Chains A and B, each alone.
Chain A
Amino acid sequence: MSFQGYLRKDGRKGIRNVVAVAYLVECAHHVARRIVDRCDDPDVHLIGFPGCYPNEYALQMMKALTTHPNVGGVLLVSLGCESFNREALAAYVAASDRPVETIVIQKAGGTRSAIDRGVAAVKAMQQKAAAAAVRVPMALSELVVGTICGGSDGTSGITANPAVGRAFDRLVAAGATCIFEETGEMIGCEAPMAVRATTPEVGEAIVASIAKAETYYRAMGFGSFAPGNAEGGLSSQEEKSAGAYVKSGSAPIVGVIKPAEVPEAPGLYLLDVVPDGPPKFGFPNISDNAEIVELMACGAHLTLFTTGRGSVVGSAIAPVIKVTGNPETYRRMTEDMDVNAGRILEGEGDLDEVADEIVALVKAVAGGQFTKSEDMGHREFILTYKSFEPSGPGCFPRSA
């Protein structure tokens, strides 16, 4: 089965045609947000980086995000004096054949004139992006799908997460690229995970990434464990880990990637989200959307988000499909939940049925159907400081 995608110059295909309005420092955030608000269009999304100090990770992330296959045009909003290399970013986007404009607030004459110019620029860009859009058939094998869990509870690890794992197995079998992440939530799972690696290098990288996560979180003083996890019945980091790990399904792990590295060959990847080097800049990902943003920077067209307690977030750029493992949460928050994996606990269906439902929804959403969070206007985005060393070639297979 295929659906219609947007063909980009680099050969990748998108499932949305979004104009991204990107602030390049917190000082430009208000102007960028007002531009997006004034456009009042579900396909104009706000993204950005708040820091004034230079950061290579943030530049690489913004390059990957502004040339994400779901993005058809980009407006950069700069205050003017921040360190972000707006020229390099604009040149990178332009080289991808996308329309791009930069508004520098200090040069535009201040807040109001920058907003007015920005709204006009987005409208012109949308016309260009619509005219330039090349609709082509797109197959499941061309999709990149990420998964994260947020607001986990004691149900997540026995319903939603294994159901997503089986959906991943089906997607990988169909030739898609699937990415799971949050090595801090895999602490204690490194040995069985390494066995699934396709090469010794990947196995070593898996073990090293988990060891790094444990060191990092220990230095931070907290595990990747929220109070709501405990209220939902999870008692320890390793209990949460065992439940989170099953999202990865059972396919072989073909590579370990870092944020903004886009896999070139299909298969299942582990995204190592914990910064390299001595801990600095704080917690690896301060909330769930930071992880979704990193999955998108690795090319994810959409994200499968499992939740027990009931997260409501969506994302800029790439749709989020919400799968709850808790039948009570589903009943309480039906308007936010796309899939009720909690029905398994009540004897209505099994993991395979829910996995089939998830795969069917992935196809529908890839074909243009809005997810619940997307429909309600959720477009969360967060990007903060980090530092990474690039992955070695052994962990990052190129297409044959």
Chain B
Amino acid sequence: MSSIIDAHVHLWDPARGDYGWLTPALPTLYRRIDPQELHEQLTRAGVHGAVLVQAAPTEAESDYLLSIAERTPWVRGVVGWVDFDAPDIEQRIAARARQAKFVGVRPMLQDIEDVDWILHPSRGRALSALASHGLVFDALIKPVHMARIEQIARRHPDLSIVIDHAAKPTIGNELSPSWRESLRALASHPNVVCKLSGLLTEVAPGVEPSQVLDCAEVVLQLFGPSRVLWGSDWPVLTLASSYDQWHALTQRALSSLSVSDRNAVTGGNAVRIYRMKTPPAAPAILLHPDDNVLVCCRAVRAGERFNISESEVIHVLQDTDLGHKLARRGLSEGDKVIKYGAPIGSMKAAVLAGGWIHLHNMKSDYISAHTRAARVDAI
């Protein structure tokens, strides 16, 4: 089901102490952001998966994000950080490439004073290693860097480059013509794609947030629907807006696309560009965040335990077949059974969390179901 993917989100814990830019001066962001909080945003918007992007210039932070990714099925990939100046950079990148959910690397170019830093020949070793291992280079840049990244795209035609947040143009009532021309130049390289993300935080004071639609239109027009990745930049996004507002606004931006093209922008392209592996099949799935039942994707056995999310464990109480329902939590007689986010009947007897829910303990609120009389003396 993981077809809608937010290609750009962050998780962090200031207590880890290596973020640098993240200080108490940003009170809404200076707090632990855990997967649970992110997952609530995603599921409310109908988003199935996300790519975690680094926020600290350390390899320890990449390990931290990967440890979350390993136990969180909906985290589809991690864009981490490597030390481009390490003498053994090729080996370090090779080691990262062997980690299933490590999909790309992002030096924090926007914070580096030397705007030509990435162009230095010594850093070409890291870029070549990324290309040869099929890892993506996420470019966290401002408009001043755009021409530099174009040079990188030219030097490394096999390197897949993702422009984060459309290079963070200032969004006023008019779009900057030079940003547009630089983006056009970047788009002319087939190895460059662009993230439709983060733009609301670039809206100038006094300018309507809906101006980002113009920017989105330019991105879509220049890159085409197979080379744009939808993302949120949550929780940085919350400095200017909410996940729901960004989701609604970008839905508008994508509304003129065909279904296939929209699916590409909101997930298919991320799967392709980041070369995501298919997640292992879960034994049971939650179809909607409001549901109080899970649906078994295979027959499950009493005593099995598995995670529905990082913090939610299901302990199966009785053998239950493929396609049947398990109680996500204990339910009492008269409780509504919720599946697909909608009521599908009422409990006529209590069930414990992890128990089987079916005709023996629930009933339709509309019309009774009929079953087969399999006894030979029934007629």
Q: Does B364 reach chain A (CB closer than 8 Å)? A: yes
Q: Give A87 Cβ to nearest chain B Cβ, in Å.
A: 43
Q: Does A250 reach chain B (CB closer than 8 Å)? A: yes
- A345 and B281 contacting across the interface, CB-CB below 8 Å: yes
- A352 and B370 contacting across the interface, CB-CB below 8 Å: no
Q: How long is the Cα–Cα vector from A326 to B368 in the complex, in angstroms?
A: 25
| Residues 213-262 of A at the B interface (beta carbon under 8 Å) | 214, 217-218, 222-223, 225, 227-239, 242-243, 250-251
- B371 and A328 contacting across the interface, CB-CB below 8 Å: no
- Given the known A-B contacts A154-B295, A223-B367, A346-B281, are A235 and B358 also in contact in the complex, defined by CB atoms under 8 Å? yes
Residue of B nearest to A249 (CB): B259
Q: How long is the Cα–Cα vector from A348 to B279 in the complex, in angstroms?
A: 9
Q: Give B324 Cβ to nearest chain A Cβ, in Å.
A: 4
Q: How long is the Cα–Cα vector from A352 to B268 in the complex, in angstroms?
A: 9
Q: Does B140 reach chain A (CB closer than 8 Å)? A: no
- Of the listed stretches B28-36, B114-122, B233-241, B342-350, name the one at the interface; the rest are far from the partner chain: B342-350
- B339 and A242 contacting across the interface, CB-CB below 8 Å: yes
Q: Does B1 reach chain A (CB closer than 8 Å)? A: yes
Q: Give B219 Cβ to nearest chain A Cβ, in Å.
A: 22
Q: Give the chain B neighbours of A44 by CB distance below 8 A.
A: none
- A347 and B279 contacting across the interface, CB-CB below 8 Å: yes
Most buried by B among A154, A218, A231: A154
Q: Give A333 Cβ to nearest chain B Cβ, in Å.
A: 15
- A347 and B322 contacting across the interface, CB-CB below 8 Å: no
Q: How long is the Cα–Cα vector from A347 to B281 in the complex, in angstroms?
A: 5
- A155 and B345 contacting across the interface, CB-CB below 8 Å: no
- Of the listed stretches A101-109, A115-123, A166-174, A293-301, name the one at the interface; the rest are far from the partner chain: A166-174
Q: How long is the Cα–Cα vector from A223 to B345 in the complex, in angstroms?
A: 14
Q: Give the chain B neighbours of A144 by CB distance below 8 A.
A: none
Q: Give A145 Cβ to nearest chain B Cβ, in Å.
A: 15
Across the interface, B342 reaches (CB within 8 A) one of A169, A188, A251, namely: A188
Q: Give A184 Cβ to nearest chain B Cβ, in Å.
A: 9
Q: Give the chain A neighbours of B366 by CB distance below 8 A.
A: 187-188, 214, 223, 236-238
- Given the known A-B contacts A233-B324, A239-B339, A352-B3, are A223 and B369 also in contact in the complex, defined by CB atoms under 8 Å? yes
Q: Give B211 Cβ to nearest chain A Cβ, in Å.
A: 28
- B357 and A235 contacting across the interface, CB-CB below 8 Å: yes
Across the interface, A166 reaches (CB within 8 A) one of B259, B296, B369, namely: B259
Interface size on A (CB < 8 Å)? 47
Q: Does B8 reach chain A (CB closer than 8 Å)? A: no
Across the interface, A158 reaches (CB within 8 A) one of B268, B285, B344, B368, namely: B285
- B372 and A227 contacting across the interface, CB-CB below 8 Å: yes
- B321 and A236 contacting across the interface, CB-CB below 8 Å: no
Most buried by B among A214, A222, A352: A352
Q: How long is the Cα–Cα vector from A351 to B260 in the complex, in angstroms?
A: 12
Q: Give the chain A neighbours of B141 by CB distance below 8 A.
A: none
- A233 and B369 contacting across the interface, CB-CB below 8 Å: no
- A233 and B325 contacting across the interface, CB-CB below 8 Å: yes
Q: Does B306 reach chain A (CB closer than 8 Å)? A: no
Q: Give A101 Cβ to nearest chain B Cβ, in Å.
A: 45
- B345 and A236 contacting across the interface, CB-CB below 8 Å: yes
Q: Give the chain B neighbours of A344 by CB distance below 8 A.
A: 1
Q: At the interface, is chain B mostly helix, strand, loop or mixed?
A: loop
Q: Give the chain A neighbours of B324 by CB distance below 8 A.
A: 154, 232-233
Q: How long is the Cα–Cα vector from A234 to B287 in the complex, in angstroms?
A: 15
- B321 and A233 contacting across the interface, CB-CB below 8 Å: yes
Q: Give the chain B neighbours of A238 by CB distance below 8 A.
A: 342-345, 364-366
Q: How long is the Cα–Cα vector from A250 to B297 in the complex, in angstroms?
A: 24
Q: How long is the Cα–Cα vector from A155 to B260 in the complex, in angstroms?
A: 24
Q: Give the chain A neighbours of B372 by CB distance below 8 A.
A: 227-228, 231
Q: Give the chain A neighbours of B337 by CB distance below 8 A.
A: 235-236, 239
- Given the known A-B contacts A158-B1, A170-B259, A232-B323, are A347 and B367 also in contact in the complex, defined by CB atoms under 8 Å? no
Across the interface, A154 reaches (CB within 8 A) one of B263, B322, B363, B370, namely: B322
- A349 and B340 contacting across the interface, CB-CB below 8 Å: no
- B259 and A250 contacting across the interface, CB-CB below 8 Å: yes
Residue of B nearest to A225 (CB): B369
Q: How long is the Cα–Cα vector from A236 to B338 in the complex, in angstroms?
A: 12
Q: Give the chain B neighbours of A234 by CB distance below 8 A.
A: 323, 369
Q: Give B363 Cβ to nearest chain A Cβ, in Å.
A: 7
Q: Does A308 reach chain B (CB closer than 8 Å)? A: yes
- A237 and B364 contacting across the interface, CB-CB below 8 Å: yes
- A154 and B369 contacting across the interface, CB-CB below 8 Å: no
Q: Does A153 reach chain B (CB closer than 8 Å)? A: yes
Q: Does A50 reach chain B (CB closer than 8 Å)? A: no
Q: Does A43 reach chain B (CB closer than 8 Å)? A: no
Q: Does B298 reach chain A (CB closer than 8 Å)? A: yes
> Could you give, for residues 317-341 of chain B, a 1 whenever the CB lies within 8 Å of some chain A CB and a 0 otherwise?
0000111110000000000010110
- B342 and A350 contacting across the interface, CB-CB below 8 Å: no
Q: How long is the Cα–Cα vector from A345 to B343 in the complex, in angstroms?
A: 23
| Residues 143-186 of A at the B interface (beta carbon under 8 Å) | 153-155, 157-158, 166, 169-170, 173
Q: Give A273 Cβ to nearest chain B Cβ, in Å.
A: 17
- B340 and A242 contacting across the interface, CB-CB below 8 Å: yes
> Could you give, for residues 183-201 of chain A, a 1 whenever the CB lies within 8 Å of some chain B CB and a 0 otherwise?
0000110000000000000
Across the interface, A173 reaches (CB within 8 A) one of B1, B259, B295, B323, namely: B259
Q: Give the chain B neighbours of A155 by CB distance below 8 A.
A: 295, 322-323
Interface residues of A (CB under 8 A from B): 153-155, 157-158, 166, 169-170, 173, 187-188, 214, 217-218, 222-223, 225, 227-239, 242-243, 250-251, 308, 326-328, 344-352
Can you list 28 contacts pairing A with B, beta carbon distance less than 8 Å? A154-B295, A154-B296, A154-B325, A157-B340, A188-B342, A217-B367, A225-B367, A227-B372, A228-B372, A231-B372, A232-B324, A233-B296, A233-B358, A235-B345, A235-B357, A235-B362, A236-B362, A236-B366, A237-B364, A238-B342, A238-B345, A242-B344, A250-B259, A345-B281, A346-B281, A346-B297, A350-B2, A352-B260
Closest 8 pairs between A and B when the two form their complex, measured CB to CB: A154-B323, A227-B372, A233-B324, A236-B364, A233-B323, A239-B344, A347-B281, A236-B345
